[in-house]
Structure 1
């Protein structure tokens, strides 16, 4: 399957370019499955999904990169997860896609839910992976989630000052992300992601996008008071080896989608935080079944 990697222009944040990747040319006869990547990664997180012919024949795959990530750029210099949700909806509209299922990893999960809250007529179903609907709260720490404030604050501080145009993201930063999210990488995968991060986060503009992405992760608002307004079905997939957000947290939060026609948690044995990358077969088969049921 040959991917189509482009950008689409939208009006949000003073005018933006949103990076998008289609698995193949758009076909309105098939349901669209939007893929939203995790913190500091890009559409490349979903290489296993784009490489799966069974998934690619069941749905139209469309990866959308949030602000601060991949090829997405805005005229305004600050953004939040709500902005990424609006940008994704405007990108769908610009691409002529009236409705879609949305799958998101970690931060992609809470961007997906924001999309469903903003445009319930567009989002037909949600597949959050290894995520949380809370802010980085004492409650989530008590339930065995990571200390996101401790993880993010050193980077927020280290990235505060302007840098030269020869700056690239340090290798240790990339290693820290993937050690936490995947339990480490093979040499080949590490080389791939080091190159991707150096391309995405270079120069002073790259530093600033990286810092804002980290500020957003650390300082975001929680969604608990809004989850009862989600009206579409939810299939939450969570790995038992997730070092960031716990299964116990997912078990509590799935029950907060009280007005969804169905809200179900599926726990995947041995799955890491970046679940679509660590257990692609489980995620892909669950996604196919969910979309076929609700399309």
Structure 2
């Protein structure tokens, strides 16, 4: 894994998009793009970059959404559709014509947005622990969390400008870790505390964090668009995911009616941030999928 860097793309008044690229880049291999979960960074995919078999199967490229990591936009506001468009521009800037896209949690619906925007570019999508719905009553009836109740207190708390010495409170980081990974060891907790407090500082960091929280709470659903996805879909979902339920995944995988192949794999004991909680299973499944469809 290369050190995180940025690349400039034209979207949103010119943007600097944070990314990490596996090295060396092999033009004979397919590329697997990885999009991280809420408030995390390319560091979420350290277990994927460290997997030798996955690295032999595909070039690995992690891209940070707007509001996350090192990504910065020329305009003040952004949505998940903006991240999908910018990620496609990153591929173009790097000279990558086609790619598979894996996404954890919010990364899953960003991956599908990329497939909708550029069906000739995206060869397949691997959503992990995600949902294709908005934060709807339907999803809560199927056992998903109440994302409105989770996000609204943070959105309200982040409404007022702050000084340049501000950093994200650790209790906000701990709330994300609890939903994403459950119990974590102190080394993992300390790593993500430090990473979040590096990425979310000052008033600009407060604004990015608040907008990211608003996007999570208020996003549009994709149910009416999923029959336009024409690439294969491999969805992995953990049984211990407290955010989006297996029942929801079982319902939504059937909405990809024009995909040439759809599959849902349920991972026993898997958490919401499945790429981090069960990297061995995710990595092997991703390598198999890319190998079959690349």
Q: TM-score, normalised by structure 2?
A: 0.99
State the match for 2:258 in structure 1.
259
The C-alpha deviation readout for 1:42-66, integer Å capped at 9, x for no partner, is 0000111111111111110000000
Q: In structure 2, what is the equivalent of residue 102 of structure 1? A: 101
Quick check: 1:145 aligned with 2:149?
A: no
1:124 aligned residue: 123
Q: Distance in 2 between matches of 1:33 and 1:67?
A: 19
Q: Which residue of 1 aligns with 2:186?
A: 187
Instruction: Work out the CA distance in 2 between the residues paired with 1:196 and 1:49.
Output: 18
The equivalent of 1:115 in structure 2 is 114
Judge conservation of contact 1:175–1:184 (CA < 8 Å) in 2: no
Q: Which residue pairs with 2:239 in the alignment?
A: 240
Note if contact 1:34-1:64 (Cα within 8 Å) is conserved in structure 2: yes
Q: Is the 8 A contact 1:4 1:25 kept in 2?
A: no
Answer with 140-149 or 175-184: which moved more. 175-184
What whole-Å deviation, never above 9, does each CA across 1:71-90 have from its counterpart, x for those lacking one?
10001000000000000000
Structure 1 gaps of 5+ residues are: none
Secondary structure of the corresponding residue to residue 144 of structure 1: coil
Per the alignment, residue 167 of structure 1 pairs with 166
Measure, in 2, the Cα distance between the counterparts of 1:58 and 1:158. 44
Aligned length: 294
**Following TM superposition, by how much is the alpha carbon of 1:267 offset from its aligned partner in structure 2, in angstroms?**
0.2
Report Cα offsets for 1:193-217 as digits up to 9, x if no partner.
Answer: 0000000000000000000000000
On the 8 A contact 1:4/1:23 being kept in 2, the answer is no
Q: Which runs of 5+ in 2 are unaligned?
A: none
Normalised TM-score (structure 1) = 0.99
What's the secondary structure of 1:7's corresponding residue? strand
Query: Do 2:4 and 2:42's aligned partners in 1 also have CA atoms closer than 8 Å?
Result: no
In 2, are the aligned partners of 1:3 and 1:50 still within 8 Å (CA)? Answer: no
RMSD: 0.6
The aligned counterpart of 1:30 is 29
Q: The residue matched to 2:161 in structure 1 has which SS?
A: coil
| Residue aligning to 1:271 | 270
CA distance in 2, matches of 1:15, 1:150: 34
1:4/1:24 contact within 8 Å kept:
no
Cα shift at 1:183? 0.6
* CA displacement 1:2-36 (0-9 Å, x = unmatched): 42421110000000001110011322200100000
**Which deviates further from its counterpart, 124-133 or 25-34?**
25-34
